[in-house]
Amino acid sequence: ILRRSNRAAMSLMLKLRLLSACSLIVFISSCARRNEDLKMIELTMNSSVDSFQDSIFFSRIEDIEFSDDEFYYLDGKTGLIGIFSYDLIFKRLMQTVGPGPEEVNAAGNFTLSNGSIYIFDNGSGSVKEYTTQDSRFNQAYKLPAIGISTDFSVFGNSLYISDFRSEKPLLSYSMDNGELKRFGLGRKWSNKSFDVERHILSDINDNLIVAYQSDSPTIELYSKTGQLMQSLDLSYLEIFKNSLVKYKEQVLPQRNTSMIIIRDVQLVGDNLYALITSHNVEGNVSFNKILKCSISDSEIKPILIYQLNLTGYYLSFSVGKNKLVAFNYSTQSIEQFSLNN
């Protein structure tokens, strides 16, 4: 009986060792998959528009949007909205800037929806709506006092706005009755700390709101009711590792900006594109990349990486059909690339 018991115990120990070994292999394989580099495609520039050589003046393009085969851009210095064709041929400037109540005093950002352009006017604390065809003023939506709004979107009869100084940094505002709802994860913003969550509303489709943290590689998906669907930390990807180490080691007591990891995010159909730049305190750029992810059943999955010009510094971008347009601050030019994958 004792011999039989010993054999049973040895058999059990062997099974446990095999199970532990299998678990270790599964764990290692999982880690290997999580740390595996994504496929990288180097993009070649097709065409560009230079602000000086092409006699079209713009200095700092804060945002680019695509609609009806046209690219719209906001010049952060002049507050003007410019329009390019799909092939990057300049078409016109929208005349919306001025001191009047139906004009934009200080444009902060803009978005396009249902044949209208909505411009966030920092001067009046309101969002002003114009027709895209003739710049005709439609209506102004006076917003409640918010800290700092860096981006917003329009869907249906609601404005979705970021307010990253709030503990709930995202809010929805009904254009019908002015009802305000706050949601989103975050901590109270402090100008004494650079390791903070600065949620910036980026884009919205029929079902999802996209927000991200500019100072860490985290992208969040929310339902239109404010429910958090997914929070994806991309720090396991190789492209973020060295950058994150440098960021955590930086001490920036005299600066009011942190090193930005994710500059802009856009939803295009079932795909999400994120503009990722990395630079040090001196402003030297180490990389410019576009991360492409798929979205299925409210889940984000990284697919591949597009490599932009290594010597540039890109502030904003937009994807339209199979083309990508980005503003290169280093050369003061708008550049266009073809997306083949």
3-state helix, strand and coil shares in percent for the chain, rounded to the nearest 5: 15, 45, 40
Backbone φ and ψ for 28, nearest 5 degrees, come out as -65, -40
Question: Which 3 state secondary structure label does DSSP give 20?
Answer: helix
Count of CB atoms within 10 A of residue 6's CB?
10
66 pLDDT band, cuts 50/70/90, is very high
pLDDT digits (tens, 9 = 90+) for 182-205: 888 765 544 444 444 567 788 888
Kind of pairing between the strands at 299-307 and 39-42 = parallel
**pLDDT band of 62, cuts 50, 70, 90:** confident
For residue 122, the one-letter residue type is N
Weakest mean pLDDT among 80-84, 113-117, 161-165, 258-262? 258-262
pLDDT band for 16, please (50, 70, 90 cuts). very low
- If pLDDT is split at 50, 70 and 90, which confidence band does 242 have? low
| pTM score | 0.80
DSSP alpha helices (H): ranges in 201-260? 238-249
Q: Residues 303-312: pLDDT tens digits? A: 999 999 877 8
Give the lowest-confidence range in 20-34, 178-192, 277-291.
20-34
Predicted pLDDT at 34:
46
Q: What is the pLDDT of residue 197?
A: 54
Q: 145 and 182 in contact (C-beta within 8 Å)?
A: no
Question: What is the predicted pLDDT for the residue at 36?
Answer: 53
Burial track 274-285 (b if 16+ CB lie within 10 A, e otherwise):
bbbbbbeeeeeb
Task: List, in sequence order, every residue forming a beta bridge with 70; answer none if it has no partner.
Answer: 67, 85
Strand order in the sheet with 152-155: 152-155, 158-162, 170-174, 180-183
